[in-house]
Structure 1
Amino acid sequence: MSKTKLDKSYNWNELEDHWYQHWLANDYFKGDSNSNKESYSIVIPPPNVTGMLTMGHVLNNTIQDVLIRKARMEGKNVCWIPGTDHASIATETKVVTMLESEGIDLESLSRDEFLSHAWEWKEKYGGIIINQLKKLGCSCDWDRERFTMDAGYSKAVLESFVQLYNKGLIYKGHRLVNWCPVSKSAISDEEVIHKEKNGKLWHFIYPISNSDDCLTVATTRPETMLGDTALAVHPEDNRYKHLIGKTITLPLVGRKIPIIGDDYVDPEFGTGCVKVTPAHDPNDFLIGERHSLEFINIMNEDASMNSNVPNKYQKLSREEARKAVVGDMKNEGRLDKVEDYTNNIGYSERGNVPIESYLSDQWFLKMDSLAKPALELVNSNKINFHPSHWVKTYNHWMKNIKDWCISRQLRWGHQIPVWYLNSDPSQIHVSVEGPDDPDNWTQDNDVLDTWASSWLWPFAVHDWPKSDENLDTFYPTNALVTGPDIIFFWVARMIMAGHEFLNDIPFKDVYFTSILRDETGKKFSKSLGNSPDPFDLFKEYGTDATRFGTMLMAPQG
């Protein structure tokens, strides 16, 4: 019998690439929409086209690969659909940074010119990501690769908007949103990072009109007092309830504003009297609605002071305005005291600046009617969470759901399918294809929130709403593997979308991974640049060893 000579060392780079190419050449990864076998399908959580993959992607996709290969060995008709996400604000931020580094004036670019640069970025980094997934050994059906802005998928996104609008679930409202002054756009809660910062608590003295009495109010945002439209006390606070209904003269502005009673005020916090700025604080916004207060927006889109403040503060940045207001209040003898104060401040993840609560016209999706059946699907075990303790988190979020701001003031993304009549902008047209006489109409400039496309991912990859044998065969999917940090932003919304548009579940099991973090406790993130390059590890230790080690060390979510 002949002897086979074995290498003394294992050359993983050569062997891994050899066998992966062998699998591809023999179509081992392909799903068959005409097969009579039991189907097993997964749609990959699409990585953002903002750079390279991280160790978190290694963990997530290795778990999916294990599930897929197990089902394939069990003789099932397996389909694992790969793809990438356009990641609207994240990608636009990267493209803007790239163009600025090349000395390109953004203001000189038309929308179409900017989008051509964005598509170039997508082709470059989307291609890199797909090649990285292949190097990772992912046994996806690569002929089914999708992108959240390819033609068929985009049509599905626009169709979902039109259907929801026609049902009365989408509306345009003038409401408070998370606002990034750098991107000059609304952003989602997921794009807000909270940081603990040492600051100051200023105590200001407000004079009661036609009286020698005063009220003292504490604030961490002196510049916003220029937009105050009331002071509030608790209606049962004996110190102040006799003042309810009186007015104060707003220092530096001279505007008379009322003293109101509202149960939101905590008599034990600070002085028990709070300033109310409805256009720049979410709690104040609700107080303003309850008491029909005036909503005065005092900031431009870049967070500088606008024309609604006295002349001397106009065009100042919010930091400059804060310094000026404190100085002027001190000069007028209305600064009682200043205390050190630790505050939890929301920062824009992309802009790396404090966000503003900003009053603007946005498109919103009503969520209550979508959330109720989605709650039932999980609590009746039609969809199972692993580990199951995440059901409690899911229930809390879904039972306290708010309307979803789905519009973004960006260029890269799905442009909202709403057109305004040029001769009368109050007349609007909503459709996928647009009006028959486009020269008489102007399309809304905003794009949809990234999540308003990715929530359709499990079925839009099959070109829904077209009737498709692939949709019939591979939907619902069997499993979703994801991190618990997006349980609301993505998992819950996919469940809502599946029920709303197909009256079915999008997946049967959800496996929550642990969150891989760096030595400071921060999540591995492309935007933070704190993840080891997994491909350096592949080169040094081999892909399978890295996959095995990552799986071995990572507990459940």
Structure 2
Amino acid sequence: MTELAKSFEPAALEAHWGPLWESKGLYKPTLDPARESFCVQLPPPNVTGTLHMGHAFNQTIMDSLTRYHRMRGHNTLWVPGTDHAGIATQIVVERQLQGQGQSRHDLGRKNFVARVWEWKQQSGSTITQQMRRMGDSVSWEHEYFTMDDKLSKVVVDTFVKLYEEGLIYRGKRLVPWDPVLKSAVSDLEVESEEEDGFLWHIRYSVVDSDESLVVATTRPETMLGDTAVMVHPEDERYRHLIGRQVRLPITGRLVPVIADDYVDKTFGTGVVKVTPAHDPNDYQVGLRHKLPMITIFTLDATVVDTLPEIPAAYRGLDRFVARKQLVAELEAQGLLVETKKHKLMVPRCTRTGQVVEPMLTDQWFVAMSKPGADGKSIAQKAIDVVADGEVRFVPENWVNTYNQWMNNIQDWCISRQLWWGHQIPAWFGESGQIFVAHDEDEARAKAAAAGYTGPLKRDDDVLDTWYSSALVPFSTLGWPEKTIEQDLFLPSSVLVTGYDIIFFWVARMIMMTKHFTGKVPFRHVYIHGLVLDAQGKKMSKSEGNVLDPVDLIDGIDLPALLDKRTQGLRRPETAPKVRKATEKEFPEGIPGYGADALRFTFAAMATLGRSVNFDSKRCEGYRNFCNKLWNATKFVLTNTQGQDCGLMEHTKEQCAPGGAAHGYLQFSQADRWIVSELQKVEQVVAQGFADYRLDLVANAIYSFVWDEYCDWYLEISKVQLQTAQAEGNEAAQRGTRRTLIRVLETVLRLLHPIAPFITEELWQTVAPIAGRKQTDYLVTAAYPVAAPDRIDAKAIAWVEQLKSVVGTCRSLRGEMGLSPSDRVPLLATGQLDFLREAAPLLRTLAKLEKVELMDDEAAFDQASATSPVLVHGQARLALKVEVDVAAEQARIAKEIARLQGEITKAEGKLSNESFVARAPAAVVEQERQRIADFSATLARLQDQAARLAASA
């Protein structure tokens, strides 16, 4: 028999159990077609990343679900993996090279890619090690990296297939462009931040007229590429100018005045410039009106030198330098009418912080709305499976968000101008011919078949990271080969993710998986909220309010925490503010709560769809819960180890009256009550897991363990064991011990999915005593299943009555100012049968000297004449205490006067028609309840005053 440590020390438990579980292969899925299956795919974190609070929250939910289903005996697979993160990873390695005075171009593509792989092998597993710290029970044998050979082959296969089906094409389109990366970026990598700017009003003269139009713009430098000026078709101010031409300042080019509903008549002057090649909205206008699209910036966002009409003084200038120079020249020419300060949303790349420039470039696209061979587009298939219920969103309201995007979907730009990633399997001929193939040999064969025999050059671009991650539901299970994993785990059971990637990942997985396998990737999509700081702000390094989950587990001192939070601030001048806020929130640093307490905190906050305001103080509360569970276990072990816990199994005949085992076990009302409450908790927990309400699971277990098992049953069990021992009642002792150990063992299994480390440690000692150890590890033990037939309503009512009487006695003690050490008799009349049975428990729980039961109510009145009396059902209770009658009368009179004043004040409010009409209904009801409560207390005190007067 192992012996528990004196106190709960999470670090030691985590260091022991985490590696042991993994080494024993306990997370490896069973592959039994006869069993139910559960599978969840980890949203692959970036290989460059570290675990943040969003990851920890998300993974707590996934691991709890995974452990729950594993314990239920299902084939259970949690697929882990990391994303190659094209942009982020390339930036990391390029910065390392810069520190060595080199660039990727110095190395060349082949050597640079080799350097990235080298970095990945050395530093790319940080986040998976942190996942282990959280206790994530993923199947590490199924771990993938999106650049692995097997997954890369699937990327190429699907690209070629989509191209051959006419669903991938190459074309010149407007895309978000990072001028530092010199690459297109996805919308997810662009964040628009409100910044201070200006709204410039610029005069454009109307050709062959004395009139002019004043254009309002926040980006005057782009006027070099204007191809129209636009007004609203119903704007009476400008209707007569539609179809005329205006002269573009600086360049002198003539552009038309067009009308379009896109214009907001109330914004600025109601006249806007149209630069189709550098603004996404203007691009759509340009397509509608068939306007020329003039690119005025190079790929590094400097003014081009290829347009003769652009003055030489602007060529080669950075776009923002050009802006200043252009504004100055407009002002000098008298064409700058007005400059206003203006708040504007500036799109910045989250990877580099650079302002994103919309650019017309050649890119590869997946056609979202083009019908395939089956007559349906990729997007329509994805819409249909949600509409048909094959894929269900939890909460359901996210379906509206999904459908809104899917029904307005644009073709997906999948190319990036990087070196790290899946290089696009396309080769170009000298005249721009395109040959898409699995490899160069196949490309040459296709070229020859098309009559081209010249040289081929492979496309330098790589695929968007989201392309390969969209394939993981099937690429990670062995597709296109037939595997048992695909049969059992595709579709997976649930995808657990945040709402911010519904478009970028969820929708694309549905589209790609349905198109290539005919199956949906998952049955349910559980959308959880984002983790915010305690004040409800988004956690961001630039704001200095980030929390590291590992710091919450291990602890960190204040100086180190301050260093972490002030590093990487986008605005260094905010450092003093960040330091002050951190010192206020964590004056002594973070003490370290352990993984179980952190997981419990996340679980308790995991309500459907709501964002989570994370307060570290809740971690402290759940750390206290772990301590309480630890100490409760030590108490139970003290009373059960080496004792007869009534675990012998007997037949019904042996237990029947006259049988050999009749009377072997005797269970009290409290024994039956705690088992009944356990069954109810098991029902709530099962429903909570089914509904993805991890908060209900966590809170139900917490409340049962703390409020019922520890605070009530353990105290009751002490009395029961002492009483039974004094009476020589071995059957009652066995019944209490059996209940103590069996309920505790069940609780540990119930709690394991949320708090795996402490429960495993305790279960190893508890389970053998409880006679329940049918497996070596709690990880694979059977999960408790409710037995509603064991719910004893009579026992529940009996204990609730006991609690109520104890509460009454405690109220009496408080009213009379008794200290916990003061033991006084309880006088009671009425409901004597219950009180007689409960007397041993009442003496201990209510700290009584004895319980005096009185049949004669007159005798009770006389004995309690100087004591407060509380009515409890049909019983009346009083504590027998010698009191100073005069002093007690004075105290009661003072309290009566106070209560009468409160009642008068509340009645005054309710008699005020204005108050009742304007105040919220809850406030009015609160005043009515105050009157009812005050009146009940007043009546009791008036009765006590009358009895004191009579006794005097």
Contact 1:54–1:525 under 8 Å retained in 2: no
Code of the residue aligned with 1:549 in structure 2: it is T
Deviation by residue 1:204-262 (Cα, 9 ceiling, x = unmatched): 11112222221111111110011111111223333222222221221110111112222
Contact 2:38–2:75 under 8 Å retained in 1: yes
Structure-2 residue corresponding to 1:334 = 335
Structure-2 residue corresponding to 1:198 = 196
Q: How does 1:406-555 map to 2 (within 5 A)?
A: 406-421=414-429, 424-436=430-442, 440-518=455-533, 523-524=538-539, 531-539=546-554, 540-555=592-607
Structure-2 residue corresponding to 1:278 = 276
Structure-2 residue corresponding to 1:118 = 116
Code of the residue aligned with 1:315 in structure 2: it is G
Contact 1:250–1:257 under 8 Å retained in 2: yes
Give 3-state SS (helix, strand or coil) of 1:173's partner.
Answer: strand
Structure-2 residue corresponding to 1:78 = 76
CA distance in 1: counterparts of 2:425 and 2:542, whole angstroms: 30
CA distance in 2: counterparts of 1:507 and 1:527, whole angstroms: 35
Code of the residue aligned with 1:294 in structure 2: it is P
Give 3-state SS (helix, strand or coil) of 2:323's partner.
Answer: helix
Structure-2 residue corresponding to 1:240 = 238
Contact 2:428–2:456 under 8 Å retained in 1: yes
CA distance in 1: counterparts of 2:428 and 2:31, whole angstroms: 42
Structure-2 residue corresponding to 1:361 = 362
Contact 1:54–1:524 under 8 Å retained in 2: no
1:37 aligns with 2:35: yes
1:184 aligns with 2:182: yes
Structure-2 residue corresponding to 1:379 = 387
Give 3-state SS (helix, strand or coil) of 2:494's partner.
Answer: strand
Give 3-state SS (helix, strand or coil) of 1:541's partner.
Answer: coil
Deviation by residue 1:378-417 (Cα, 9 ceiling, x = unmatched): 2222212111111111111111111111111111111111
Contact 1:479–1:511 under 8 Å retained in 2: yes
CA distance in 1: counterparts of 2:343 and 2:406, whole angstroms: 31
> What is the CA distance between 1:11 and its match in structure 2?
2.8
Return the index of the structure with the highest Cα Rg. Answer: 2
Deviation by residue 1:42-68 (Cα, 9 ceiling, x = unmatched): 121111111311121111111111111
**Structure possessing the higher relative contact order (Cα contacts under 8 Å, 6 or more residues apart):** 1
Percent of counterpart pairs with the same letter? Answer: 48
Judged with a 3 Å threshold, the aligned counterparts in structure 2 of structure 1 residues 270 and 4 are, in CA distance, closer, same or farther, namely closer
Give 3-state SS (helix, strand or coil) of 1:382's partner.
Answer: coil
Task: Report which of the two has the higher share of strand.
Answer: 1
Judged with a 3 Å threshold, the aligned counterparts in structure 2 of structure 1 residues 58 and 382 are, in CA distance, closer, same or farther, namely same
Contact 2:539–2:546 under 8 Å retained in 1: yes
Structure-1 residue corresponding to 2:318 = 317
Contact 1:56–1:524 under 8 Å retained in 2: no
Code of the residue aligned with 2:206 in structure 1: it is I
Deviation by residue 1:423-443 (Cα, 9 ceiling, x = unmatched): x34222112223347693111
Contact 2:32–2:75 under 8 Å retained in 1: no
Code of the residue aligned with 2:298 in structure 1: it is N
Contact 1:429–1:435 under 8 Å retained in 2: no
Code of the residue aligned with 2:385 in structure 1: it is L
Q: How does 1:112-191 map to 2 (within 5 A)?
A: 112-191=110-189
> What is the CA distance between 1:519 and its match in structure 2?
5.8
Contact 1:172–1:361 under 8 Å retained in 2: yes
Give 3-state SS (helix, strand or coil) of 1:360's partner.
Answer: strand
Judged with a 3 Å threshold, the aligned counterparts in structure 2 of structure 1 residues 436 and 457 are, in CA distance, closer, same or farther, namely closer
> What is the CA distance between 1:530 and its match in structure 2?
5.3
Contact 1:206–1:249 under 8 Å retained in 2: yes
CA distance in 2: counterparts of 1:165 and 1:521, whole angstroms: 46
Give 3-state SS (helix, strand or coil) of 2:19's partner.
Answer: helix
CA distance in 1: counterparts of 2:440 and 2:30, whole angstroms: 36
Contact 2:436–2:443 under 8 Å retained in 1: no
Contact 2:221–2:319 under 8 Å retained in 1: yes
Code of the residue aligned with 1:511 in structure 2: it is Y
CA distance in 1: counterparts of 2:536 and 2:594, whole angstroms: 27
Contact 2:427–2:443 under 8 Å retained in 1: no
1:392 aligns with 2:397: no
CA distance in 2: counterparts of 1:187 and 1:482, whole angstroms: 22
> What is the CA distance between 1:364 and its match in structure 2?
1.1
Structure-2 residue corresponding to 1:104 = 102
CA distance in 2: counterparts of 1:158 and 1:233, whole angstroms: 47
CA distance in 1: counterparts of 2:543 and 2:516, whole angstroms: 36
Give 3-state SS (helix, strand or coil) of 1:20's partner.
Answer: helix
> What is the CA distance between 1:303 and its match in structure 2?
0.9
CA distance in 1: counterparts of 2:474 and 2:517, whole angstroms: 9
1:259 aligns with 2:257: yes
Judged with a 3 Å threshold, the aligned counterparts in structure 2 of structure 1 residues 519 and 302 are, in CA distance, closer, same or farther, namely farther
> What is the CA distance between 1:319 and its match in structure 2?
1.1
CA distance in 1: counterparts of 2:23 and 2:273, whole angstroms: 69
> What is the CA distance between 1:265 and its match in structure 2?
2.2
Judged with a 3 Å threshold, the aligned counterparts in structure 2 of structure 1 residues 102 and 529 are, in CA distance, closer, same or farther, namely farther
Deviation by residue 1:290-343 (Cα, 9 ceiling, x = unmatched): 222111100011111112332110111111111111111111111111111111
Code of the residue aligned with 1:479 in structure 2: it is V
Give 3-state SS (helix, strand or coil) of 1:492's partner.
Answer: helix
Q: For structure 1, which segment, 224-233 or 123-132, has the greater mean C-alpha deviation from structure 2 after superposition?
A: 123-132
Contact 2:94–2:103 under 8 Å retained in 1: no
Judged with a 3 Å threshold, the aligned counterparts in structure 2 of structure 1 residues 89 and 529 are, in CA distance, closer, same or farther, namely farther
Deviation by residue 1:187-215 (Cα, 9 ceiling, x = unmatched): 11111111111111111111122222211
Contact 1:217–1:275 under 8 Å retained in 2: yes
Give 3-state SS (helix, strand or coil) of 1:435's partner.
Answer: helix
Contact 2:510–2:521 under 8 Å retained in 1: yes
CA distance in 2: counterparts of 1:177 and 1:460, whole angstroms: 28
CA distance in 1: counterparts of 2:296 and 2:17, whole angstroms: 63
Give 3-state SS (helix, strand or coil) of 2:69's partner.
Answer: helix
> What is the CA distance between 1:8 and its match in structure 2?
1.3
Judged with a 3 Å threshold, the aligned counterparts in structure 2 of structure 1 residues 252 and 32 are, in CA distance, closer, same or farther, namely same
Task: Report which of the two has the higher share of helix.
Answer: 2
Structure-1 residue corresponding to 2:890 = none
Give 3-state SS (helix, strand or coil) of 1:238's partner.
Answer: coil
CA distance in 1: counterparts of 2:535 and 2:94, whole angstroms: 29
Deviation by residue 1:273-293 (Cα, 9 ceiling, x = unmatched): 211111111121122122221
Contact 1:364–1:403 under 8 Å retained in 2: yes
Code of the residue aligned with 2:604 in structure 1: it is L
> What is the CA distance between 1:529 and its match in structure 2?
7.8
